[in-house]
């Protein structure tokens, strides 16, 4: 039971990885001839300079990205990373051009194309579905706090990203990146490999230059795993730093949205636009006085100097090539003035069981509240109706079951003593006797670990193949984690994670940026096909 629960938790939101070696394969490159797309690997500062210099307009940029989505995502390699494009995107871009021409620039995200994971509400012509056919055509009655803040910042929401359906918390033997509505997301580095999840489309689309930014969500691994597997940067904030109102939930205790980008600077810029207290999400109340509207101030080239960093040793010994990359990363950090302290364990396996129990209780409560928020005309009005729909649908249960939905339905409400006991045990085990204990006893600024192993082959028959993932300590505690590219195993990217105490995003950004800036491992994908 212990091991099963451990593996189960590591599977939620696509956290865990690969079952095998990464043998060299004969590969060929899929044609991705998009000669008119001149914004390959552009960053936000480059884009803003182009706007300021009159080199191109926001409408031209958005049009170029929409055309690339059509060519790369829907044709060509057919990544299936975008589940829907925004029919109003060009009109929004044109309006922002008018503002810019009149001297009104809302901030660094003005005119920047962005995709939202399709469990984040938008009150517009787009649906919000969590990838489920049960919510096809579902139109929330208002924007999520995330969408509202991004619009105010001048970002152009160009579409919704495909995802592991119901954030990969629907059933056993699931395949990350698959949804009944959007199909299977592919990894843009090697198309037969998995993009991880559950923010699969967010990770693949950013990596493939179908958008400049994307917003993912994480309960346990759903931002950091697809960021790692797709060779990009992901920030999983402290729970409460970014509002969850208008986000289809799994866990009130662990859920959080966060930015995904090709570099840490862009992700930090985006994070500053997302933070703030939201009256509709009481977790954000604790962020008062702890958030920053500008996180780029913490991006320091010497950010590793003088830092005392814990090296999480438990993931070592599973995949030699990942160990090699990690050892190189450690050597670089030492060369930059960091002190490395080995850490064997963070908490115990029982924490995973408590986390899973809490998720089941909170899933039932959260989903029923979400369905109610859709109004009296909603197609699905309860968790029970969702389960019934899936049983009647020809596609939804074709590849895997809905056991976790059924387990959640069987739970009581949040006054149940079993829930309260599990929550108390989780907080004690993941925080006081987990992350806080390890960091305090070793006087650490952060802990580092390989985010995961190279992407596994997508397997709709047997589901995801688990070997290595390190998101749980931070996710279960509700603490922040940042992953940046660490290198490649063959053609497949691997990330390194920096995680630490609650509200420690500034110090994590310092270290992650110094590492990213000094190593520069990001490479654009080639859309390879293995023989």
Q: Which residues have a catalytic role annotated?
A: 117, 198, 222
Q: What is the C-alpha to C-alpha distance for residues 497 and 228, in angstroms, rounded to an integer?
A: 9
Strands 256-261 and 492-499, how do they pair? Answer: unpaired
How many CA atoms are closer than 13 Å to the CA of 403, on its beta-carbon side? Answer: 9
Q: Are 455 and 208 in contact (CB under 8 A)?
A: no
Q: Reduced to 3 states, what is the DSSP secondary structure of residue 434?
A: helix
Measure the CA–CA gap between 423 and 481, rounded to whole angstroms: 21
Residue 340's DSSP bridge partners are 309
User: What is the rounded distance in angstroms from the CA atom of residue 239 to the CA atom of residue 430?
Assistant: 14
3-state percent helix, strand, coil for the chain, nearest multiple of 5: 40, 15, 45
345, 354, 163, 167: which is closest to 253 by C-alpha?
A: 354
Task: In whole angstroms, give the CA distance from residue 192 to residue 348.
Answer: 35
What would you report as the CA-atom Rg of the chain, rounded to the nearest whole angstrom? Answer: 21
Cα–Cα distance between 266 and 346 in angstroms, integer? 31
DSSP letter at 83? E
Contact 43, 113 (CB under 8 A): no
How far apart, in whole angstroms, are the C-alpha atoms of residue 296 and residue 116? 22
Peptide bond into 198 cis (omega under 30): yes
């Amino acid at each position: 039971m212990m091991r099963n629960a451990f593996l189960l938790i590591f599977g939620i939101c696509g956290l865990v990885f690969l079952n095998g070696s990464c043998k060299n394969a004969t590969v060929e490159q899929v044609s991705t001839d998009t000669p008119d797309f001149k914004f390959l690997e552009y960053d936000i500062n480059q884009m803003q300079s182009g706007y300021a210099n009159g080199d191109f307009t926001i409408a031209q940029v958005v049009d170029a990205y929409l055309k690339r989505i059509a060519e790369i995502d829907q044709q060509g390699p057919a990544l299936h990373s975008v589940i829907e494009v925004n029919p109003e995107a060009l009109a929004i871009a044109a309006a922002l051009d008018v503002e810019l021409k009149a001297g009104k620039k809302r901030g660094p995200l003005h005119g920047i194309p962005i995709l939202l994971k399709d469990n984040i509400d938008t009150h517009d012509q787009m649906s919000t579905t969590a990838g489920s056919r049960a919510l096809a055509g579902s139109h929330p009655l208002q924007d999520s706090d995330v969408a509202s803040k991004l619009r105010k910042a001048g970002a152009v929401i160009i579409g919704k990203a495909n995802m592991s359906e119901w954030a990969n918390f629907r059933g056993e033997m699931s395949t990350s990146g698959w949804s009944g509505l959007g199909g299977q997301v592919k990894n843009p580095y090697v198309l037969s490999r998995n993009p991880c999840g559950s923010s699969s489309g967010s990770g693949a689309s950013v990596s493939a230059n179908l958008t400049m930014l994307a917003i993912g969500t994480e309960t346990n691994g759903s931002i950091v795993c697809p960021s790692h597997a797709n060779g990009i940067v992901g920030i999983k904030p402290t729970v409460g730093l970014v509002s969850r109102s208008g986000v289809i939930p799994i866990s009130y205790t662990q859920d959080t949205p966060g930015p995904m980008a090709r570099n840490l600077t862009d992700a930090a810029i985006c994070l500053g636009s997302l933070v703030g207290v939201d009256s509709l999400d009481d977790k954000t109340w604790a962020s008062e006085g702890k958030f920053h509207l500008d996180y780029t101030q913490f991006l320091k080239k010497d950010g590793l100097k003088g830092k005392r960093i814990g090296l999480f040793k438990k993931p070592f010994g599973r995949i030699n090539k990942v160990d090699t990359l990690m050892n190189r990363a450690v050597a670089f950090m030492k060369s930059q003035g960091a002190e490395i302290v080995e850490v064997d364990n963070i908490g115990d396996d029982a924490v995973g069981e408590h986390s899973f129990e809490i998720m089941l209780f909170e899933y039932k409560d959260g989903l029923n509240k979400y369905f109610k928020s859709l109004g009296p005309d909603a197609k699905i009005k309860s968790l029970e109706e969702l389960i019934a729909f899936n049983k009647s649908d020809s596609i939804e249960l074709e590849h895997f079951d809905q056991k976790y939905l059924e387990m959640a339905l069987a739970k009581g409400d949040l006054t149940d003593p079993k829930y309260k006991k599990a929550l108390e045990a989780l907080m004690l085990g993941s925080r006081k006797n987990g992350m806080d204990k390890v960091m305090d006893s070793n006087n650490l600024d952060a802990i580092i670990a390989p985010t995961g192993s190279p992407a596994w082959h997508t397997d709709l028959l047997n589901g995801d193949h688990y070997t290595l993932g390190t998101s749980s300590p931070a996710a279960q505690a509700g603490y922040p984690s940042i992953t940046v590219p660490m290198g490649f195993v063959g053609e497949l990217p691997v990330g390194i994670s920096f995680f630490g105490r609650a509200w420690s995003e500034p110090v994590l950004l310092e270290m992650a940026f110094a590492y990213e800036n000094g190593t520069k491992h990001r490479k654009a994908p080639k859309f390879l096909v293995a023989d």
